[in-house]
Amino acid sequence: MDNSLDREKFIFGSLFLLTNKLQVKGDQLFEEDGMTLRQWFLTVMILQFQDGTPTLGEVSALMGTSHQNTKQLAKKLEEKNFLRFIKDQRDGRILRLMLTEQSHQYWKLRENEGDIFLNKLFCDLTNEELKMMVSGITKMLGTIETWDDEKKGENEHEQN
């Protein structure tokens, strides 16, 4: 790869490949319990909110996915008694997500397996490489966020 564009194309394609491989390996980790990596990810995203009952929209935004996608994942967790939908007290149209005690217990028992999975995934990377990856991924996510802001601005401009 002699030029920057070739490296960018390689990285772009590799991100898709990495995502697919991570999905497969993560699903294998949880398959005996009928769970998926995406269900785990939804659980982790819910835990990012201090009050423990974020709205469906808040979690969707944090996950970077659609409201419908998040709701589908949440319904699967609800069927397993890992999550409850709660109507917002001030606005009944708003759905909040709350993890059940069963969910907390399950993920607590699986925490060690998750740590082992991450250690295996990153074992060949130096601390410096990890720092560079964090920096690069953070910048790329920020760039994508500006695209969303630009699109909103264009839509507002078209409406005026």
Burial 65-104 (b: 16+ CB within 10 A, else e): beeeebbebbebbeebebbeeeeeeeeeeebbbebeeebe
pLDDT for 38-93, tens place per residue? Answer: 999 999 999 999 888 999 999 999 999 999 999 999 999 999 999 999 999 999 88
pLDDT digits (tens, 9 = 90+) for 10-39: 999 999 999 999 999 999 988 998 999 999
pTM of the model: 0.81
